[in-house]
Amino acid sequence: MKKSIRALLPAFLILLIMNNAVAAEGNNPLLKPFNTLHQTAPFNEIKNEHFLPAFKQAIEEARAEIQGIIDSKSEASFENTIVAMDQSGNRLATIRKIFFNLNSAETNDEIQNIAQEVAPLLSEFGNDISLNPDLFKRVKAVYEKKDQLNLNAEQKTLLENTYLGFVRSGANLGEKEKERYREITSELSKLSLTFSENVLAETNAFEMLIQDEEELSGLPEFAKEAAVHAAKSKDKEGWLFTLQYPSFIPFMKYADNRALREKMYRAFTVKGNQDNKYDNKELVKKLVNLKLEKAQLLGYESHADFQLKRRMAETPERVSEFLEQLHQASRPAAEKEFAEVVEFAKKEGFEGELQRWDWNYYSEKLKNAQYGFNEEEVKPYFKLENVITGVFDLAKTLYGLDLKENNEIQVYHPDVKAYEVFDIDGNFVSVLYLDFFPREGKRSGAWMTDFRGQWLEDGKDNRPHVSIVTNFTKPTGKAPSLLTFDEVTTFLHEFGHGLHGMLSKCQYSGTSGTNVFWDFVELPSQVHENWAYEKEWLDKFAVHYETGEKLPEELIEKIIAAKNFQSGYVSERQLSFGMLDMAYHTIAEPLKEDILTVETRAMQETELFKPVEGSLMSTSFSHIFAGGYAAGYYSYKWAEVLDADAYAAFKEHGIFDKETADSFRENVLEKGGSEHPMLLYKRFRGQEPTVDALLERSGLKN
């Protein structure tokens, strides 16, 4: 049996840690063992004032644990160095996850101020570890004898990840370069937080209150009801529209008032580009240049070169070739689709030049004309509670999971629901939090995260606490939450990420769950979207929320028929984001050009519209400037290749085939990052994927 990190510490250090912890704990719930079901976060007890002292104490505890590894009199070994490091800092990791998840889903000015204070502390602590020559000496000693250690595949991966983590974090730098590295990483952590806060502030700042009902022409009842509900929540009369997706998207699709569509579009696309205190243009330059400087300090030509060394794609050249290959396949279809919308708009009486704020409006009308399918028609069949039932049933059918709501598990907001997840034998698998609705303290979009990962320690399997966060339409006084079809696929997408976290069966926290190569992490999410287009699945739960009538077969056929509607245009749009990302992160000289010039040049190959003055994607591109997708946005399309090929296996054997699902679970979902992702994928599929399955599924093959 392997020893825990505490068993490796000298007695005086254990005493020091215990004394400091007792002194600091007081009434701080973050510094006590969580006396809750499954040791979930005690949200009811946690107050903002607890975070900063908890961070400081947990950092000191983690320092002492690391120092214990360094001071060990024993020769460096896999257990006393690599495993000990993996097990160190558990309390800090827990506090960090709770705090930064709240900063994304339930933030306020106080939390944001704490984040700005905590970010450099965490950066300094991380650098103190990765730049410590004595610790690296022990890690390197183990790494150099790796071939004699008889390690299993996951142990080899953990050892390699640990060693390369040091090297890629500056362990081989000289003292002067190490000091600069510290400065860069600290500044990056603060700037990325500021970027995200600015985008949220700009999103929340815009409101469009309509008091003349004639200006709502074209909007379906669900959109109008939501707008009334939003207005009342702010003690206003009329219909309130915001830049939150459940408000913005229906307005752009259905509102007949072109001037108001333009107003909404311009507000949405100038976020971070209004020359005010929330302006992100200079932040973008600083972030790009600091990442470049860090990469070059470490011996790489560009940030993309640095990042892609630890990705399936491996090189910027390969990413560029991949994006170009898909661009060449998508462009003819996109141009044809664009011309179709222009022609259709003319037949509808539109005069002049089609603008971006016209696209969704006329596209939705064209889709309805071609397929007899629109979102308003299907939404009544996608009541949120029914969709939850359908998704949970899919998890049970494929993976034998049983999800049960438990109100005893504390949550961080009344909208959040908590579930226990059990396997087919009744064994506890995970906690799952679901947080569906938009609010001012939540950033836009949808994501999966966790409050605790999975790992084994002293024979105990510490099971994960996973969270799925979205921004779906809230219930109103007249109607429950009714999802668009796109929101149904979003739920499946994030639930796929959740399965990757929940089903993890790894030995070490550093290799478990979603700790995988960045361009592999989207496979479990995107492959599960495919069931949304399967009649066999939709038949299980999609019923009208008022009549109980099943989703008519005719509507299902329309959904499936419309699956590839404007697939070329959608592909080009996604590729444009990947190209913009690579434009920023393949530079080898500091960026001096203005952001608009960079963005225009990067995206021009995929553009179909003339530019709109003031609009800028970069200043709200949180994926790459406040998330982890820098030099990695291409991974969405990369994973589409994987998921199309993977889902072909389900189509070949049956979409609920247990043997295929078991193989996907055992070879992908349970394995986390324990081995190279291509090895895991080939074990499931028996071959490497090609783009053919994606092009065929998207209707872009020819």
The residues that are catalytic are: 494
What is the rounded CA–CA span in Å between residue 248 and residue 412? 26
Task: Give the count of beta carbons closer than 10 Å to the beta carbon of residue 664.
Answer: 24
- Residue 188, amino acid: L
Burial of 459 (0-12, 13-18, 19+ CB in 10 A): exposed
Coil/strand/helix, residue 607: coil
**Cβ atoms 43, 101 nearer than 8 A:** no
**Cβ atoms 139, 84 nearer than 8 A:** no
Phi, psi of 420, deg, nearest 5: -95, 140
What is the rounded CA–CA span in Å between residue 108 and residue 200? 11
Measured at the alpha carbon of residue 204, what is the angle toward residues 201 and 209, in degrees to the nearest 5? 150
Cα distance between the two ends of the chain: 58
| Maximal C-alpha separation, the chain | 83
Phi, psi of 459, deg, nearest 5: 80, -5
Distances (CA, A) of 616 to 225, 247, 399, 600, 621: 31, 21, 43, 9, 9
Measured at the alpha carbon of residue 554, what is the angle toward residues 552 and 557, in degrees to the nearest 5? 115
What is the rounded CA–CA span in Å between residue 288 and residue 75? 42
What is the rounded CA–CA span in Å between residue 522 and residue 695? 18
- Residue 175, amino acid: E
What is the rounded CA–CA span in Å between residue 671 and residue 514? 9
As given in the structure block, the two tokens for residue 434 are 């679901």
Percent of the chain that is helix, strand, coil (3-state, to 5): 60, 5, 35
Q: Which residues, in sequence order, are CB contacts of 349 under 8 Å at separation 6+?
A: none
What is the rounded CA–CA span in Å between residue 647 and residue 629? 25
The neighbouring-strand residues paired with 421 are 403, 430
Asked whether the CA dihedral 37, 38, 42, 44 is positive or negative, the reply is: negative
Coil/strand/helix, residue 422: strand
Coil/strand/helix, residue 429: strand
| Cα–chain center distance at 403 | 22
Phi-psi region of 474 (alpha: psi -120 to 50; beta: other; left: phi over 0): beta
State the angle between helix axes of 133-144 and 153-167 in degrees (0 to 180), rounded to the nearest 10.
140
Number of H helices, E strands in the chain: 28, 9
As given in the structure block, the two tokens for residue 446 are 């949808």
**Cβ atoms 474, 511 nearer than 8 A:** no
As given in the structure block, the two tokens for residue 103 are 């900063």
**Cβ atoms 220, 368 nearer than 8 A:** no
**Cβ atoms 379, 398 nearer than 8 A:** no
**Cβ atoms 589, 622 nearer than 8 A:** no
What is the rounded CA–CA span in Å between residue 696 and residue 44? 50
Q: Which residues, in sequence order, are CB contacts of 98 under 8 Å at separation 6+?
A: 30, 41, 46, 451
- Residue 437, amino acid: F
